[in-house]
Amino acid sequence: MRFPKTYHLENIAEIIGCSFVGAPDFPVLGMNEIHVVQVGEIVFVDHPKYYDKALNSNATIILINKDVECPEGKALLISDDPFRDFNKLSTYFRPFQASSNAIAETAQIGEGTIIQPNVFVGNHVKIGKNCIIHANVVLNDHTIIGDNVVIHAGTVLGADAFYYKKRADFFDPLISCGSVVIEDDVTLGALCTIDRGVTGETRIKKGAKIDNQVHIGHDTVIGEMCLIAAQCGIAGCVVIENHVTLWGQVGTTSGITIGEKAVIMAKSGVSKSLAGNKIYFGAPAEEAREYYKHVAKVKNLVK
């Protein structure tokens, strides 16, 4: 998430009440998660396992819970609880806005778009031309929809990420302030749920077709012309490249990539990144031909 203007390091430290390492006027342009963070943005890290990854990432400002040597050209925000303070920044720069109308006054709706009854269109939502938004769809704040998009009844875009830190006696949510972006010519089936990015975006690219009751987690990217059948569950931070097919009830773990033109057969469980141009089956998913060989060997063992 980019801030509406450039802030200084001392401004950010004051907002969250922490010390800093770097010039007081060091520029801060925004904040993001480590897998999408850009130069000029803040990333947080609160576990020694990930210190090096954060310090060597694209992030220019690292919100960290240890006084470490600051890399050249970067700055540090020293906090006793970076997770908490990252949430403070999310709340400060993009606070929750209550809506008083079914279609917010700040929403933009393109020419020729049809909005059916009981649709909720949140603050700063943008909908392109010639779309059909069926009954009872929810488009939460900052959702962006291209042209010629069809969204069937009951689908929800922009719910919070399923992302929690376990405290001593409760689960602490990482506040979501990102968005969902649906590109041109996408069709979303009924009762789909697409979570927004934590600070970035969840994106479904041009021409993708998604069946009923599909869940897509935060910050995931679905490529162009993908086909995703009913009841698939795609975790957060997944990259599905162009022309991939997922048949019914496929599930994935987070943070993986499925390569271009891969086909994942029904009921498979994807536990790691998979190369493109191959057909996969099983849990964990492997090349379908290899899976069937294994099944044949097992059958021969019991004869």
Catalytic residues: 218
**DSSP letter (8 states) at residue 103:** B
Q: How many CB atoms lie within 10 A of CB 300?
A: 8
Q: What whole-number distance in Å separates Cα of residue 280 and Cα of residue 289?
A: 8
Taking the mean position of all CA atoms in its chain, how far away is CA 272? 18
The DSSP element (H or E) to which 2 belongs, if any, is: strand 2-8
CA separation for the pair 8, 172 (Å, rounded): 28
Q: CB count, 10 Å around CB of 108? A: 12
The tokens for 177 are: 């302030």
Rounded distance, CA 250 to CA 264, Å? 7
> Which distant-in-sequence residues (6+ apart) come within 8 Å of 153 by Cβ?
116, 134, 135, 136, 137, 190, 191
The Cα 179–Cα 291 span in angstroms is: 38
Q: Does the CA dihedral 184-185-186-189 come out positive or negative? A: positive
- 128 with 148: CB under 8 angstroms? yes
Peptide bond into 284 cis (omega under 30): yes
DSSP characters over 4-18: EEEEEHHHHHHHHT-
Phi, psi torsion values for 55, nearest 5 degrees: -65, -30
Q: Are 155 and 188 in contact (CB under 8 A)?
A: yes
